[in-house]
A and B are shown apart, each in its own frame.
Chain A
Amino acid sequence: MKLKSVLMATALTGVAFGAQAQEVTVMSWGGAYTKSQVEAYHKPFTAETGIKVNSVDADNPATPIKAQVEAGNVSIDVADVEFSDAVRLCDEGLLEPIDHGMLPAAPDGTAATDDFIEGALQDCAVANIVWSTVMAYNSENVDGTPTTIADFFDTGKFPGKRGLRKSAKATLEMALMADGVPAGEVYDVLETDEGIDRAFTKLDTIKDDIVWWEAGAQPPQLLADGEVVMSTAYNGRIFNAAVGEGQPLEIVWDGQILDFDLFVVPKGAPNKDAAMKFIAFSTDTKRLADQASWISYGPARKSSGAMVGLYSDGKTEMAPHMPTAAANLENALVNNFEFWVDMDAELNERFNAWLAN
């Protein structure tokens, strides 16, 4: 929510003044996700190095970076951002390059550069998780069982409000998949003007029933409150609400959109050395596997996969809840970062105009 970004801006100013040598400020997405990072990364990091970790949240940590770097008043040391944002910010020279040589090797000796899955290591970014945008529903409020992404757009069959993230990214892809475009062809279609029109026409069919969300913590809340019967959401948030809090929420994996979250260091970060230490520590095999026991996001290292076990409740097997589990990948789309680096401004402009009409 905007509310949170406002609160956060205030918190940031405080942090900027309070920053000292043995501290590192990490900005993430809030809610269950930040909690998983605090448990799996921050606490062990402080225990081992004595460096205090300040945790701050934003709706999207990529957005404050440019403002801070250009104003020459950087208060974040590490930010957790999406793939296309990491590439874009790096291209614009707003991020510190990260030396991949500092990343620890896997326990079996495989070098980090081979251990991370493809695309997880970028010039200025190191991925920590694979997450996905999925559709989810409240089984108590929806009549029947939605099984495909097309059901999300079918308000005749499944009446009720829908929650969608207020951004063009993922929304347009889902609209096309619901309209019958196979996952493999989504970006080819979306590259054409007709394809964009087609996506918006599909969105038009449910426009009056959409409740827009901005912060990742909102969809589970909207679903639990009954404000919407179905919503797109980050898969880990739904898992934590369903398994961790016992909410009657279900995920439909059909049409899920996979993406990385990556750690980046803004240019001019006040505690750059500590930031690099934090990234090297947090993305080692064990920490990445640990994080997966707090939220159902896939670790970005191959070697972590085997170590992922039970959820922090001690009884739920995590593997089937991962977006990368084989059964969940049947009709899945991998976010095309290059497409979004390029088209983000253009499509969001169109998206805003569509929203306002």
Chain B
Amino acid sequence: MTDATANGKPEMLTTADGKPLKAALIRAQARARRRAFLLVLPLLAFILITFVMPIGQMLHQSVYNPGFVMHEDIGSGKRTPIMTNLKVWFDENPAGTEPDEAAFAALHEDMLLLRELRAPGQVGTRVNYERGGSRSMFTKAARRAERMDPPYKEAFLDVDEEWADPELWRVMRDASSAYTFNFYLAALDRSKNADGEIVSVDENRQIYIKLFTRTLFLSVLITFLTFLLGYPIAHLLATLPLRYSNLLMIFVLLPFWTSLLVRTTSWMVLLQSQGVVNDALVGMGILGDDNRLQMMYNQIGTVVAMTHILLPFMVLPLYSVMRPINPSYVRAARSLGATSWTAFRRIYFPQTVPGIGAGALLVFILAVGYYITPALVGGADGQLISNLIAFHMQNSLNWSLAAALAALLLAGILILYWLYDRLIGIDNLKLG
């Protein structure tokens, strides 16, 4: 260091024009940093717009559903608050209060507005998410609202006796606030009863926890299978002379470059009960024509097709880790008296662990979110949680529930990632 002079006092270093060196250096580096930042700015903006924002929006949607509080006219985009009178009644009366005439009068007032806005369906749909069969109660009541006379309680009960159901009023109270955690409850097979206590839903309606478990189990199984199949292939690729290994590499990459749909439908051709595999087995006399194997439209189909499709994601990281391993290590171990198994276990295998980690993580995370393959070959019991998310996105149109399910899946993966980091260490990961 040169910052100490003869008299022991630190003397400030300056540039040729007398500015302090430290400040000049910081300024120069800041310019370089700004330039570097400008270079990554497009990528940053891209990630922000296409990744962070949609995920944020999804998380928001999982706790926010304004179906009961706000109507937006699709043509003009005009927003009108709805169900405001009922909201006032809910605020004035604690949860569990039996709805009185004032409550029904408020409901009637709100119904008139709904009718005008053509919005009863929207409100009914929101309530229907938590209490099936409520939708038509709203559309019917709104149609009759103009002809209703006080007392309104009787008028509503006249349209449908279900209007007195305490559970309906609990759902309406919850829905009258746009923010709710009820969709997360639903995503965990729970709901609230009329008193607001959290309870499990009927056994024959429980599905999501089962599917989460199945998704995790199948993903682990598929990851393990790709490892079992991929490790020897990667080893072969890494140790063969280049001209052979390049040829073999094409066989690994060719399916990788082929469309996912093509590969999945090829598996359908192979596995279906009138398919190639069954025909061959029957033709060889191994199977009778009457007891063909059911290898598709069940979990077997999902596991077989997904293992094949995800195999390259295991082989490629393994290969990139195995290629640079110096064969003389193993030879040295052998010459020192290790059996081939010991040499593999103690010398070779530990050097490939970063590749296994990377491959396993890649395959696992891809498998957890897989959608098209199980949808095509999974039948009923080979469906994964992503198929249910898609169902709520496309068919039932309950986007809040879909978002809650997706958020739980995301949280699960983050936890596993954290565990992986704690157990193996993320810096041990080697992708290439």
A binds B: yes
Chain A interfacial positions (CB closer than 8 Å to B): 1-3, 6, 60, 63-64, 66-67, 69, 88, 90-94, 161, 200, 207, 210-212, 225-227, 267-268, 338, 341-350, 352-357
25 contacts between A and B (CB under 8 A): A3-B372, A3-B376, A69-B74, A88-B121, A91-B124, A93-B74, A93-B118, A93-B119, A93-B121, A93-B122, A210-B380, A211-B379, A225-B272, A268-B74, A341-B136, A341-B139, A344-B396, A345-B128, A345-B129, A347-B132, A349-B207, A352-B207, A354-B204, A356-B207, A356-B381
Bound complex: CA of A343 vs CA of B396, how far in Å? 11
Apart from the given pairs A227-B273, A353-B204, 13 other A-B contacts in the complex at a CB distance below 8 Å: A3-B261, A6-B261, A91-B122, A92-B121, A93-B73, A212-B297, A267-B74, A267-B75, A342-B135, A345-B128, A346-B128, A346-B132, A347-B132
Q: Determine whether the beta carbon of A346 is less than 8 Å from that of B133.
A: yes
Tell me the nearest residue of chain B to A355, going by C-beta. Answer: B380
Bound complex: CA of A90 vs CA of B120, how far in Å? 11
Contact of A92 among B75, B122, B265, B273 (CB under 8 A): B122
Tell me the nearest residue of chain A to B119, going by C-beta. Answer: A93
Bound complex: CA of A300 vs CA of B205, how far in Å? 38
A75 CB to nearest chain B CB (Å): 15
A93 CB to nearest chain B CB (Å): 5
Bound complex: CA of A146 vs CA of B52, how far in Å? 57
Q: Determine whether the beta carbon of B139 is less than 8 Å from that of A91.
A: yes
Bound complex: CA of A161 vs CA of B124, how far in Å? 39
- B345-372 contacts to A (CB < 8 Å): 372
Bound complex: CA of A25 vs CA of B365, how far in Å? 38
Bound complex: CA of A265 vs CA of B388, how far in Å? 28
A324 CB to nearest chain B CB (Å): 27
Q: Determine whether the beta carbon of B133 is less than 8 Å from that of A349.
A: no
Check B85 for interface membership: any CB of A closer than 8 A.
no
Q: Determine whether the beta carbon of B120 is less than 8 Å from that of A91.
A: yes
Bound complex: CA of A285 vs CA of B6, how far in Å? 109
Bound complex: CA of A329 vs CA of B264, how far in Å? 41
Contact of B395 among A91, A212, A348, A350 (CB under 8 A): A348
Inter-chain contacts of B135 with A (CB < 8 A): 341-342
Inter-chain contacts of B124 with A (CB < 8 A): 91
Would A343 and B132 be within 8 Å (CB), given that A349-B205, A355-B380 are in contact?
A: yes
Q: Determine whether the beta carbon of A227 is less than 8 Å from that of B265.
A: no
Would A357 and B210 be within 8 Å (CB), given that A3-B376, A91-B139 are in contact?
A: yes
Q: Determine whether the beta carbon of B396 is less than 8 Å from that of A345.
A: yes
Q: Determine whether the beta carbon of B297 is less than 8 Å from that of A353.
A: no
Contact of B274 among A67, A92, A227, A344 (CB under 8 A): A227
Tell me the nearest residue of chain A to B396, going by C-beta. Answer: A345
B183 CB to nearest chain A CB (Å): 13
Bound complex: CA of A348 vs CA of B134, how far in Å? 15
Inter-chain contacts of A6 with B (CB < 8 A): 261, 372
B80 CB to nearest chain A CB (Å): 12
Tell me the nearest residue of chain B to A66, going by C-beta. Answer: B397
Would A355 and B383 be within 8 Å (CB), given that A94-B74, A212-B297 are in contact?
A: yes
Inter-chain contacts of A90 with B (CB < 8 A): 121
Task: Mark interface residues in B362-402 (1 if CB within 8 Å of A CB, else 0).
Answer: 00000000001001100111010000100101111110000
Q: Determine whether the beta carbon of A342 is less than 8 Å from that of B133.
A: yes
Q: Determine whether the beta carbon of B394 is less than 8 Å from that of A348.
A: no
Main DSSP-derived SS at the A contact region: helix
Check B65 for interface membership: any CB of A closer than 8 A.
no
Bound complex: CA of A357 vs CA of B383, how far in Å? 11
Bound complex: CA of A26 vs CA of B345, how far in Å? 63
Q: How many contacts between A and B, using CB within 8 angstroms?
A: 108
Bound complex: CA of A245 vs CA of B125, how far in Å? 43
Q: Determine whether the beta carbon of B74 is less than 8 Å from that of A356.
A: no
Inter-chain contacts of B264 with A (CB < 8 A): 3
B289 CB to nearest chain A CB (Å): 11
Bound complex: CA of A347 vs CA of B133, how far in Å? 10
Bound complex: CA of A353 vs CA of B207, how far in Å? 5
Inter-chain contacts of A349 with B (CB < 8 A): 132, 205, 207, 396
Inter-chain contacts of B133 with A (CB < 8 A): 342-343, 346
Inter-chain contacts of A207 with B (CB < 8 A): 380
Tell me the nearest residue of chain B to A200, going by C-beta. Answer: B204
Tell me the nearest residue of chain A to B186, going by C-beta. Answer: A349
Would A91 and B121 be within 8 Å (CB), given that A352-B207, A353-B205 are in contact?
A: yes
Check B185 for interface membership: any CB of A closer than 8 A.
no
Q: Determine whether the beta carbon of A212 is less than 8 Å from that of B128.
A: no
Would A63 and B395 be within 8 Å (CB), given that A211-B297, A345-B129, A356-B207 are in contact?
A: yes
Check B282 for interface membership: any CB of A closer than 8 A.
no
B275 CB to nearest chain A CB (Å): 9
Check B239 for interface membership: any CB of A closer than 8 A.
no
Bound complex: CA of A343 vs CA of B376, how far in Å? 27
Tell me the nearest residue of chain A to B290, going by C-beta. Answer: A159
Q: Determine whether the beta carbon of A348 is less than 8 Å from that of B396.
A: yes
Check B206 for interface membership: any CB of A closer than 8 A.
yes
Inter-chain contacts of B304 with A (CB < 8 A): none
Tell me the nearest residue of chain A to B398, going by C-beta. Answer: A345
Check B343 for interface membership: any CB of A closer than 8 A.
no
Check B211 for interface membership: any CB of A closer than 8 A.
yes
A325 CB to nearest chain B CB (Å): 32
Q: Determine whether the beta carbon of B118 is less than 8 Å from that of A1.
A: no
Bound complex: CA of A231 vs CA of B393, how far in Å? 28
Among B125, B214, B397, the most chain A Cβ lie within 10 Å of the Cβ of: B397
Inter-chain contacts of B139 with A (CB < 8 A): 91, 341
Bound complex: CA of A207 vs CA of B132, how far in Å? 25
Q: Determine whether the beta carbon of A352 is less than 8 Å from that of B261.
A: no
B298 CB to nearest chain A CB (Å): 10
Inter-chain contacts of B372 with A (CB < 8 A): 2-3, 6
Inter-chain contacts of B380 with A (CB < 8 A): 207, 210, 212, 355-356
Inter-chain contacts of A350 with B (CB < 8 A): 204-205
- B62-106 contacts to A (CB < 8 Å): 73-75
Tell me the nearest residue of chain A to B376, going by C-beta. Answer: A2
Q: Determine whether the beta carbon of B274 is less than 8 Å from that of A225.
A: yes
B299 CB to nearest chain A CB (Å): 11
Inter-chain contacts of A66 with B (CB < 8 A): 397
Bound complex: CA of A151 vs CA of B177, how far in Å? 51
A5 CB to nearest chain B CB (Å): 8
Inter-chain contacts of B397 with A (CB < 8 A): 63, 66
A104 CB to nearest chain B CB (Å): 27
A19 CB to nearest chain B CB (Å): 18
Inter-chain contacts of B210 with A (CB < 8 A): 356-357
Q: Determine whether the beta carbon of B125 is less than 8 Å from that of A92.
A: yes
Q: Determine whether the beta carbon of A63 is less than 8 Å from that of B379.
A: no
Inter-chain contacts of A357 with B (CB < 8 A): 204, 210
Inter-chain contacts of A344 with B (CB < 8 A): 396
Task: Mark interface residues in B34-75 (1 if CB within 8 Å of A CB, else 0).
Answer: 000000000000000000000000000000000000000111
Inter-chain contacts of A353 with B (CB < 8 A): 204-207
Inter-chain contacts of B118 with A (CB < 8 A): 91, 93
